[in-house]
Amino acid sequence: MTARVALTYRDYAALPDDGKRYEIHDGELSVMAAPTPDHQIVIGNLFLILAPYVKARSSGLVILAPVDVILSDTTIVQPDLVYLDPERLSALGRRGVQGPPTLAIEVLSPTTGTTDRTTKRDLYARYGVPHLWLVDARARTIEAYVLRGGEYALTVRAAGGQPLDLPPFADLGLVPDSLWSPFSLEP
């Protein structure tokens, strides 16, 4: 039986800059396909909503992918969007976000949906990320989770055209339908 080799941040930093997206989950390399246009439209729209909201309130920083979130030496992820509240801004460094952000947002895609809903969700919980949003562009839904007792509890599952607030933001007024692509993109 061959012993499993756990990859570390040092191995991650040595990976080629070849256009692929890499993450390390508990020492195991994960390679992802490039995001789809729908995926990028959704994260762009989310960024255009969240960044001005956060800036107007001087309440931290929203960072658009790709940015490394170094949860441990053997767990490095790249959420689609990251929010750091003022108390967590010190986690931002040259290598990326070193430690748990306040909020990680993952936009699900056919190739990453299962990993985002299971592996990464479990990693975010284990390393103490207080808030997680899973955004499903196909189902046109947003799920907002809050970490309670080491596990995520669903607090909001939303769709449609009504404005709503999602934790950790009060008076956000996000309209789920404003996130989706206005174009019908063929597979």
List the structure tokens of 54.
């956060």
Domain ranges of the chain: 36-178
pLDDT of residue 86: 97
pLDDT of residue 45: 96
Find out whether 144 and 159 touch, Cβ atoms under 8 Å.
no
| pTM, full prediction | 0.93
pLDDT of residue 185: 56
Measured CA distances, 74 to 7, 10, 13, 113 (Å): 6, 9, 12, 22
36-178 CATH: 3.90.1570.10
In the chain, which stretches have pLDDT less than 50? none
pLDDT of residue 154: 98
pLDDT of residue 32: 85
What CA–CA distance (Å, rounded) separates 98 from 76? Answer: 9
